[in-house]
Amino acid sequence: MASARPELPRKFRPLQIYEQVSEKIRAEIRAGRFLPEARLPSERELASLFGVGRPAVREAIGALQNEGLVVTKRNSGSYVALDAPEILATVGESSDEAGDVLQADYSPSATLDVRLILEPAIARRAAAKHKRDPLAEHYLDQMETLTDIADPEQRALWNNSDRLFHRQLAAMTGDVLLAKLAEEIADTMDQSLWKRLKDDGIYDSARIRLYVAEHRLIYEAIVTGDADAAAFYVEQHILRVKRDIAPN
């Protein structure tokens, strides 16, 4: 007689590392080991406790912030929200029962690793065309209008212009497949966890001006046909983003 085959959820997928960490922290809150309004251990301590890297811990904290379970105070640390136990009681013992796990954001640090592979190659291909692009210039101009990073509307405009500028660089190659891949990455950069970590890591006007200058360098290298410089500037820019939002 044939053995029964296990029934898996129709949309089953393995948890990303940051999701596993966030679930461990939820379990600590449910068990009363992390109490409401108590300060969480530092990122370094949590990374050691759970045997993961700091980027995964930072992503987990960001996900918990988006759920209202954790509050982070700059230069102070992250704290369990006062109503965290009530929120967890509402959603149930396991987040995937409510479908949250199936709709989770992609890991920002993993996205940046992929961008480091893909985007220097895109810059080189675009530089081979060395043509100006009105839409890319429009996104650059929008980024330069930012005057108050604390203003939610200006922050949203910055985030949108930034991700669409990088998508447009792929369109400048004329390669449909590269453009499709860049579209997927742009969608990932529009997810709530990416926005949370970017907002937390890039929060002052001086840093934004530096980012705008880096985008200008990338674009001008492309339109003048300097493939080596374009690839170098993209790589350095992504490494800076990685240091700002997902430090080791």
* Residue 150: pLDDT over 90: no
pLDDT digits (tens, 9 = 90+) for 17-37: 999 999 999 999 999 999 999
CB-based contact 70:81 (threshold 8 Å): yes
Rounded CA gap, 155 and 128, in Å?
33
pLDDT digits (tens, 9 = 90+) for 50-64: 999 999 999 999 999
Residues 6+ apart with CB under 8 A from 172: 126, 129, 131, 133, 136, 222
pLDDT digits (tens, 9 = 90+) for 159-217: 999 999 999 999 999 999 999 999 999 999 999 999 999 888 887 888 889 999 999 99
Please report the pLDDT score of residue 6 as a whole number: 60
Please report the pLDDT score of residue 218 as a whole number: 98
Please determine, looking at this structure, whether the domain spanning 17-103 carries the CATH number 1.10.10.10.
yes
**For range 128-151, the mean pLDDT:** 93
Rounded CA gap, 131 and 78, in Å?
47
CATH number at 108-245:
1.20.120.530
Query: Domain ranges in the chain?
Result: 17-103, 108-245
Look up residue 35 and give its two tokens.
């109490």
pLDDT band at 96 (very low <50, low <70, confident <90, very high): very low
**Residue 55 backbone dihedrals phi, psi, to 5 degrees:** -55, -40
The C-alpha angle with vertex 40 and arms to 34 and 45, in degrees rounded to 5, equals 115
